[in-house]
Amino acid sequence: MSSFETTFSKRLEALQDAKQLRTLVSTDYLGHGLIERHHKKLMSFGSNDYAGLADHPEVIQAAQMALDTYGAGSRASQLVSGYSALMETLEKELADYAACESACLFGSGYLANIGVIPALVGKGDVILADRLVHACMIDGSRLSGAAFHRFYHNDHEHLSTLLETHRSPYRHCLILVERVYSMDGDVAPLDNILEIAKHYNAWVLVDDAHGMGVLPPHHGDYLHLGTLSKGLGSYGAYVCGPLSVIEYLKSSARSLMFSTSLPPASVAAALTALRIIKQDPKRMQHGLDMARYFTEKMRMKMAQSAIVPLIIGDEDKAIALSKRLEDDGLYVPAIRPPTVPPQSSRLRFAFSIWHDKAIVDKVIGIIK
């Protein structure tokens, strides 16, 4: 065995010993919230398709028409010849939805964050991030070379304290938050954060990946980043903001400049999905309603989004409870370190349009 193979065999063993080895499980989506895993049909609570738009016939038809009209791929980066009229229309409608001047598209939420953050700030600047922001925001911050500090989760007073201490030595300051936190399901106090940011002349980037398609749009003086792959049921990401900022990103965000642009089918699907949620806002509300029904019955703090974590603590117990639910036809993923902090392993429920009170009651009957 070569040193290359030996090195990574040992690393695999170390991951196994630390209970951090991840394996991929083939999952087939059957429609209406049903999946097949391990040769079993399950109702899924592990999907980010909150509004069920990945299954929507109009969304599927739009994707099929785009395939027939434009082909399978976009053939180039946006700056060469991969920017289409379809993309331009989606950008305009996303900007309008967010009440912003302009928008641009990225290949994924991860690509958006690792491209946007280093384009906005660098050496001589400072980033202040909520402790629970997604890994892609952390990675984007590392790539930027800016000084980096974290404030306590959703604690705008601690943010204010850090700004008082760290703002003045730096040229620019960027605050990073999520609108809905992906592992906890709680919502950032955006109005408080924006007020503090204005006082200290700081910029704010809000990742709305898990709010889009679930919560009504929040308008404010910040850069809106979101995905097309969750509430809109397609693939890709977007950033909305002032025209000057968006035009600058198109010439400086490396993950936009040096990536092939989104496939036409994904763009068409996202555009149709966006129009559906604008026409039918009640479609967004159902997942939140079911999340709140669950938290009420479980006597938990009322859900703020479609995501509800059931904190177990011990990862073996979390895995065992997930397996028990799977045995009863329900898929609820166990989330464990390093995705979440040690001793905070949990079941992560993602409620969607496909869940009703009967299926939620079944879940409660098993876990209570």
Catalytic residue numbers, as ranges: 48, 134, 178, 182, 207, 210, 230
Going by C-alpha positions, the residue among 238, 240, 208 that lies closest to residue 223 is 240
Going by C-alpha positions, the residue among 286, 180, 282 that lies closest to residue 227 is 180
Q: Which residues of 135-172 are buried (b: 16+ CB within 10 A; e: fewer)?
A: ebbbebbebbebbbebbeebebebbbebbeebbeebeb
DSSP 8-state class, residue 233: S
H and E: helices and strands count for the chain: 13, 14
Cis-peptide into 338, omega within 30 deg: yes
The residue assigned the tokens 């703090």 is 301
Indicate the burial class of 37 (C-beta count within 10 angstroms; 0-12, 13-18, 19 or more).
Answer: middle
DSSP 8-state class, residue 135: H
Both tokens of 205, joined, read 């980037």
Mapped onto helix, strand or coil, the DSSP state of residue 250 is helix
The torsion of the CA quartet 209, 211, 216, 218, rounded to 10 degrees, works out to: -70
